[in-house]
Amino acid sequence: GQNIDQPTEMTATEGAIVQINCTYQTSGFNGLFWYQQHAGEAPTFLSYNVLDGLEEKGRFSSFLSRSKGYSYLLLKELQMKDSASYLCAVRDRSNDYKLSFGAGTTVTVRA
Amino acid sequence: DTGVSQDPRHKITKRGQNVTFRCDPISEHNRLYWYRQTLGQGPEFLTYFQNEAQLEKSRLLSDRFSAERPKGSFSTLEIQRTEQGDSAMYLCASSFYSGQETQYFGPGTRLLVL
């Protein structure tokens, strides 16, 4: 299986930047996804990385280093509505391309 | 633009009863996944379909759970003889199987077994 580790909780101030790290171990890496999940709601897709480097989408950026088994999600100019859980998920060729999810990082944005 | 829908959104049942959930995927998607999520955890894979074929069922899934996707469109997940440990959010996701396959989730069915 896959070991996917991410911090349990992070707190930041409105307007600040927060970086959520994710480390993983997998035998057939085939992509890493970040999802946002507000309390009681379904996960919504944020970003996808399959090659090393940074992918930027507005206030959100995601970085991948395959050799280190490491990714981060960067949230800039934090807004109150960014308070949510952020899930890191890895797709694995040896697992028939299914996704395995981390437990999620709960980000709390304070005024 | 129609996303993934699930019905019901909430279900309260008594231990021992059977429950059935429905998922309607995005229309052109050929893969459909069922997950279970408990508080403070990420979604846990249960089973998935490619068109109408059920390709895999998690080892964690007991025989009380069964899923179908009879015409390769909507899917149902049935839990027989529910137990309190079945209380969770049941999420459905769909995707179009290709190089970059992104799964899109429905709103989920929250099950409470009393």
Whether B108 contacts B90, CB under 8 Å: yes
Residue B80, C-beta contacts closer than 8 angstroms, at least 6 positions apart = B18, B64, B65, B66
| Pairwise CB contact (< 8 Å): B40 & A98 | no
What are the backbone dihedrals phi and psi of residue A80, each rounded to the nearest 5 degrees, phi first?
-55, -35
Span A41-55, average pLDDT: 94
- Name the residue among A48, A98, A102 with its Cβ closest to that of B102: A48
Rounded-to-integer distance, Cα B4 and Cα B108, Å = 9
Burial B14-45 (b: 16+ CB within 10 A, else e): eeeeebebebbbbeebbbbbbbbbeeeebbbb
Per residue in B51-65, pLDDT (tens digit) is: 999 888 888 788 999
| Percent above pLDDT 70 for chain A | 98
For residue A24, pLDDT over 90 is answered with: yes
For residue B1, pLDDT over 70 is answered with: no
Contacts B48 to A, Cβ<8 Å:
98
For residue A15, pLDDT over 70 is answered with: yes
CB atoms within 10 A of CB B2: 8
| Pairwise CB contact (< 8 Å): B105 & A97 | no
For residue B103, pLDDT over 70 is answered with: yes
Q: Among B21, B102, B109, B112, pick the best mutation site for testing chain A contact (most A Cβ within 10 A).
A: B102
Rounded-to-integer distance, Cα B6 and Cα B21, Å = 7
Chain A contact present for B48, CB below 8 A: yes
Rounded-to-integer distance, Cα A61 and Cα B100, Å = 18
Name the residue among B29, B37, B26 with its Cα closest to residue B111.
B37
For residue A23, pLDDT over 50 is answered with: yes
Question: Whole-number mean pLDDT of chain B?
Answer: 93
| Pairwise CB contact (< 8 Å): B108 & A41 | yes
